[in-house]
A and B are shown apart, each in its own frame.
Chain A
Amino acid sequence: MDAIAINVNGKPHSVEVSPDTPLLWVLRDTLGLTGTKFGCGMALCGACTVHVDGEATRSCTTRIRAVAGRNITTIEGLSKDGQHPLQIVWLEEQVAQCGYCQVGMIMTSAALLAKKASPSDADIDEALGGHICRCGTYQRIRSAIHGAASKAAQGGGTR
């Protein structure tokens, strides 16, 4: 095993794992960043979503060799002190139930808002269509994304 260099949440790491190891398991088992969740292993549920160079990416099917040298952001690095507008509004709207899928939802929503400051319902349904919440928080997720867009437009929250 050779060491592979990755940047996670602004910090360089050198990990000694097989190059075909999914990024998900490097984050969780090697780096101890357990905010990113395992849900399906086949990019079907979105629980493992992180940002790779700003793009929402399923870490469960992304091999570590494919992200060598690239900038990875996980939920732990999304904002300082949980002050991303989405994190703030997520609490205001009391979106989460069990909470397990919510990190993935927030990461994809953050990538969406970075591209589209004021997404429509259709934009949200499309962007989040790859995610699954078994608790059924979808109605509040949609509402929270609209809320976060408004908050960001008013200059609320920090990144």
Chain B
Amino acid sequence: MSSSTQFTRRDFLKTGAAGSACLVVGFYLPGIAPAAAVGKTFAPNAFIEIDPNGEIRLWVARSEMGQGPRTSMTMILAEELDADWSHIKIMQADFDPKYGDQTTGGSQSVRSSWDPLRKAGATARDMLVTAASQTWNVPKSECTTHDSAVIHTKSHRRLTYAALAVNASGLPVPKDVPLKDPKDYRIVGTKKERVDGSFIVIGEAHYGIDTKLPGMLYAVVSRPPTFGGRVKGFDPAGAQKVEGVRHVVEVPAVEMPPLFGEERAANSGHQHYLWGGVAVVADSTYQAIAGRRELTVEWQPGAGAEESSEKHRATCAELVKGSGKELRKIGDPEAALRGAAKTVEAEYELPYVAHTPMEPPNCTASMRDGKCEVWAPTQNAPGMAAALASALNIPQSAITIHITLLGGGFGRRLNIDYGVEAALIARAAGVPVKVTWTREDDVRHDYYRPMSHHRLRAGLDAQNGVTSWLHHVAAPTTDGFYLGGDIPDTGGTELAGTGLPAGIVPNSLLEASFLHTAIPRGYWRSVDVSWNHFAVQSFIDEVAHAAGKDPLEMRRELIGTKQPPAGKAEDEKPVDLARLKTVLNLAAKESGWGSQLPKGRGRGIALLYSWGTYIAQVAEVGVAKDGSIRVNRVVVAIDCGQVINPDMVAAQIEGGICFGLTAALYGEVGFENGEVQQSNFNNYKMLRIGGMPRVEVHIVPSHEGPGGVGEPPVPSIAPAVANAVFAATGKRLRRLPFQTQELAET
């Protein structure tokens, strides 16, 4: 068994917080396997182990970064297993293909694991029941299970899973075991405490940055100041004079593989490289930082050295005026526009943004005997394994990845740069090394959510019905950065799962134009929906205004009854209009839509179907005389199918709104001469406690398959607030972050 991070549920604190009898206690034991069990462990699959001595271990293969998979995924297993939730051990799996996909992103941990984990739990339970029925010589149908035991209902005999482990492990693994009826759920759908919670509040939750190995040194890296830049030469003497500095080593530039194992043509023109740098390796983090200050590096400017984000804005504004690559055309949108009784046109733009998880990127690596072992706060262990194998030229079998707890991810840690860099430094230094990124390193060397420019046009007939809908997006491509080529990012547009509203309007056109740049791009919580949805949901309100309709009524009309074609995203089912209407109406009702608000206040609404989840948000805002926006309240209605842990769904919605609102109010990374203009939280601002709106969450009960919840709350807040500002002031904000000076009373 590979090493693990282990979480044990036991009565750690006798009185227990909140009077709870079962708190979760964790131990971080890199390199130490759980104690060998006495007798044969029952392990019917990769996720469940039951020892004859009574220990039940459930394995979590995904990365915990706040969305709660360590809790929710084991709840699913425990439910079908009928395990006693208060007496299980939750184990963080290392990277291992036996667990299936271990990438954590795309709001899909629960969605894609729902069936496999239920089956894993149910199969194990079935085998335990078989073992008990054979022991008692009674039919299986007379047996039931509860709290990690099989019970013979007629005789009230009871055998614990532990007692059955040896016999069960000798049985064949059955196929197609029936799953529970949702009405029998005892764990799924209930509020369970986050399994890391009790460690977090005492400072004993161990993140990647807390890793410490015997003999380990600490490093920081000087990286190219312009994108695509390289080390031309360096003088280590200054750094070497700093107390505690042990090594100054060059990090070579290396080509990186695709993030998710995709195929990439030899001449793809992709831009995914680690550009290298110079590492200062010392006895402590601070000595490494102090050493780096004295380091002299000469840089060769990169391909991005001439670039500026202001120029990108101008280029994209020009691009959307022409025609782009046609992605989908229904009917004859131009003709319908020409023949319209009324036309509406607007342009929207969004900037580059950084991820800035609170735990900066870091990784601890050890290279020994041709083998590489890393402790990585990663969302993408499979991608990191492939990149390490490629950069170090060793087989994947020689690589061990310990997935630590992540201090936030938001897509930053789908990238694998910091892991490869750490391994290269550990190899050069010849000792285990922890590489820590300062916040400045993080802000200046991110993979940025791309900027984008949108031109939307709509035609209305004499009855104010929408007859034509045209959307042209100009942006750098994210997928193309990693894979090469012009690959449009279409989430939240008419090609994504919603197909709305263009799929319903009789004539529509979606076009994309591409800005070519060396700025690294990446996946940022809610990815392309985050920008396209802002434009689409803002424009719906502009069309409503032109038609003299209430924005809520406009949406009800647009989602009418005509089923739009299915979206392109592979994991999306066609939109269910009834579910979409339910969340729209619920959010409107709970928000008091239509009721009077004081002067200077307004409500705005936005509606989204994505990641298999239906969500509507109503933002209530106030605009001050100086133009500053205060979001007072956000009412959310969500249908995310079967809820695993309702409190965690609410938490994700609160957090997603904070994340989206931060970007809407402040988020902007600018470049000049290929260098990032921001560096830390003084000039890359974050929403703080005083700016947090009151978030009210209404969950629609459902036994449909689970939808995602990590990303769906993010995209709607920006358009909902922009729409609310319009309701409050009559002024339309079409650019993120909001240019609030435009709202100031003069």
Contacts and interface: CB of A to CB of B under 8 A. Distances in A.
B406 A96 contact: no
Contacts of A28: 210, 285
A39 B203 contact: no
Interface in B177-230: 191, 193-194, 196-207, 209-210, 212, 218
Contact of B193 (A39, A91, A106): A91
A40 B196 contact: no
Nearest to B206: A34
Given A41-B440, A100-B407, 20 more contacts: A32-B212, A34-B206, A35-B202, A36-B203, A44-B682, A45-B681, A86-B201, A90-B200, A96-B66, A97-B66, A97-B194, A98-B407, A100-B207, A101-B358, A128-B689, A133-B689, A134-B356, A134-B659, A136-B659, A136-B692
Nearest to B242: A18
Nearest to A33: B203
Interface of B: 13, 15, 17-18, 20, 23, 64-68, 191, 193-194, 196-207, 209-210, 212, 218, 243, 284-287, 290, 356-360, 405-410, 436, 438-440, 647-648, 651-652, 654-659, 662, 680-682, 686-690, 692, 694-695
A68 interface: no
Given A32-B212, A136-B656, A44 B680 contact: yes
Contacts of B196: 96, 99
Given A30-B284, A37-B359, A91-B193, A125 B205 contact: no
Contacts of B357: 98, 100, 134
Contacts of B202: 35, 75-76, 78, 82, 87
A26 to B, nearest CB: 8
Contacts of A57: none
Interface residues of A, number: 65
Nearest to B207: A100
Contacts of B203: 33-36, 74-76, 103
Contact of B681 (A22, A30, A82, A132): A132
Contacts of B17: 82-83, 87-88, 91-92
A30 B218 CA distance: 12
Select the residue from A42, A90, A134 with max chain B CB neighbours within 10 A.
A134
Given A29-B286, A92-B17, A82 B201 contact: yes
Contact of B200 (A1, A18, A74, A99): A99
Contacts of B651: 94, 97, 137, 140
Contacts of A126: 690
15 contacts: A25-B286, A30-B284, A38-B209, A40-B681, A42-B439, A44-B682, A83-B13, A88-B17, A91-B197, A97-B67, A99-B199, A102-B200, A106-B201, A136-B655, A136-B692
Contacts of A75: 202-203
A134 B202 CA distance: 20
A125 B407 contact: no
Nearest to A96: B200
A109 to B, nearest CB: 11
A126 B688 CA distance: 10
Contact of B689 (A78, A134, A138): A138
B408 A135 contact: yes
A139 B694 contact: yes
Contacts of B359: 37, 39, 98, 100
A129 interface: yes
Contact of B680 (A17, A25, A40): A40
Q: Which 6 A-B pairs have the closest CB atoms?
A: A35-B203, A136-B658, A100-B407, A98-B66, A97-B66, A75-B203
Given A44-B680, A97-B655, A132-B358, A91 B692 contact: no
B681 A99 contact: no
Contacts of B286: 17-18, 21-22, 25, 29
A39 B690 contact: no
B65 A98 contact: yes
Given A91-B193, A98-B358, A132-B358, A137 B13 contact: no
A65 interface: no
Nearest to A138: B692
A82 B680 contact: no
A131 interface: yes
A113 interface: no
Given A34-B206, A40-B439, A94-B647, A129 B197 contact: no
A39 B439 contact: yes
A125 B689 contact: yes
B201 A137 contact: no
Contacts of A124: 689
Nearest to B688: A129
A140 B284 contact: no
B23 to A, nearest CB: 8
A39 B201 contact: no
Nearest to A29: B284
A19 B542 CA distance: 60
B686 A132 contact: yes
Given A37-B407, A39-B439, A96-B200, A134 B656 contact: no
A44 B196 CA distance: 26
A149 interface: no
Given A21-B286, A124-B689, A136-B659, A94 B204 contact: no
A72 interface: no
Contacts of A142: 689, 692
A141 interface: yes
A90 B358 CA distance: 19
A86 B212 CA distance: 29
Given A34-B203, A45-B681, A135-B408, A39 B689 contact: no
Contacts of A125: 689-690
Given A91-B193, A92-B18, A136-B659, A102 B201 contact: yes
A56 interface: no
B680 A91 contact: no
Contacts of A17: 284, 286
Contact of A129 (B356, B659, B690): B690
Nearest to A74: B203
A81 interface: yes
